[in-house]
Chains A and B, each alone.
Chain A
Amino acid sequence: MSNVLKKALSLIIGDSSSMNLKMPKNRPLKKLTERELLQLESEIGSKLFGAIPAGHRREFFCLDESTWIWYEEWIDPKTKKTRQATTRYEIRDNGILKVQEGARYSFLEGQELDNLVLAIRMYYEQVARGVYKIDPHTGQKLQ
Chain B
Amino acid sequence: MPERHSIETFSNPGNPEGSFEFETRADFHRGNPDLIPFEQVEAANEARALATPGRPERRPELTPAEMSKEVGRRIIYLRSNELGVSVQPSMREAA
Residues of A bordering B, CB below 8 Å: 3-4, 7-8, 11, 29, 32-34, 37-38, 41, 62-68, 89, 91-96, 108, 113-114, 116-117, 120-121, 123-124, 127-128, 131-132, 134
Size of the B side of the interface (Cβ < 8 Å), in residues, is 23
- Contact in complex: A91, B75 (CB < 8 Å): no
Among A4, A113, A132, point to the contact of B78 (Cβ < 8 A).
Answer: A132
- Say whether A64 contacts B64, CB under 8 Å: no
Total A-B pairs, Cβ < 8 A:
90
Main SS of chain B's interface residues? helix
Instruction: Identify the B interface with A (CB < 8 A).
Output: 64-65, 67-69, 71-76, 78-79, 81-83, 88-92, 94-95
Tell whether A34 pairs with B71 under 8 Å between CB atoms, given A64-B76, A93-B65, A94-B65.
no
Considering only CB atoms, which chain B residue lies closest to A8 in the complex? B91
